[in-house]
Amino acid sequence: MIVIGIDPGLATVGFGVIRTENGNITPISYGCIRTSADKQTPERLLEIFNEITSLFEKYNPEVIAVEKLFFSKNVTNGLSVSEARGVIFLAAQQHNIPIFEYTPNQVKQAITGSGKADKKQMQEMIKRLLDLDEIPKPDDAADGLSIALCHINIMR
């Protein structure tokens, strides 16, 4: 099974592609989709949609796992993340890919055993669990891998 984990955002969408087969977990790819703040929001959303669609077509995932939006004090940021999630969900629906959502605390719990883990602890665990030579960079890509691995761990 191939799972794509997605950390949504308007400026940066982190993603991680993981294959799980016969109990073996293998990272396939990870990275970020970046959009320019110089562009209008609709242009940025279209760019995210097109790039996510390309990822789905390249890796043909059985499911995607997306970080669930939690509202913070920055409502503007929350709205732009919601818009990015919308185009990601649209692309998934167009490809008939089931969507699973996880809160940041669920992801932390599934990866480290603690819902209060910090970013450094999360990154170290991802490196260790996926047998990577180094911590995935940038942070958003590591988050994408974490979300995919969270889904795999929860579904076991």
**Structural domains in the chain, sorted by start:** 2-155 (3.30.420.10)
Please, which pLDDT band fits residue 69 given cuts at 50, 70 and 90? confident
- Looking at residue 104, what is its pLDDT? 93
149, 5 Cβ separation under 8 angstroms:
yes
* Model pLDDT for residues 79-114, shown as the tens digit of each residue: 889 999 999 999 999 999 999 999 999 999 999 998
Q: Determine whether 101 is exposed, middle or buried from the number of CB atoms within 10 Å of its CB (0-12, 13-18, 19+).
A: middle
Whole-number Cα distances in Å, 56 to 8, 96, 97, 109: 15, 10, 9, 27
**In this structure, are residues 124 and 19 in contact, taking their beta carbons and an 8 Å threshold?**
no
What's the N-to-C CA distance of the chain in angstroms?
Answer: 12
Mean pLDDT of 7-31: 96
Can you tell me the distance from the alpha carbon of 145 to that of 87, in angstroms, rounded to the nearest whole number? 20
Q: What pLDDT band is residue 72 in, cutting at 50, 70 and 90?
A: low
H-state helical runs in 1-156: 41-59, 75-94, 104-112, 119-129, 139-155
Structure tokens at 138: 């940038």
CA separation for the pair 30, 19 (Å, rounded): 12
Catalytic residue positions, numbered: 7, 67, 140
Per-residue pLDDT of 22-67, as tens digits, reads 989 999 999 999 999 999 999 999 999 999 999 999 999 999 999 9
pLDDT of residue 59: 98
Residue partners of 93: CB distance under 8 A and separation at least 6: 99
pLDDT at 101: 98
Rounded Cα gap, residues 12 and 35, in angstroms: 6
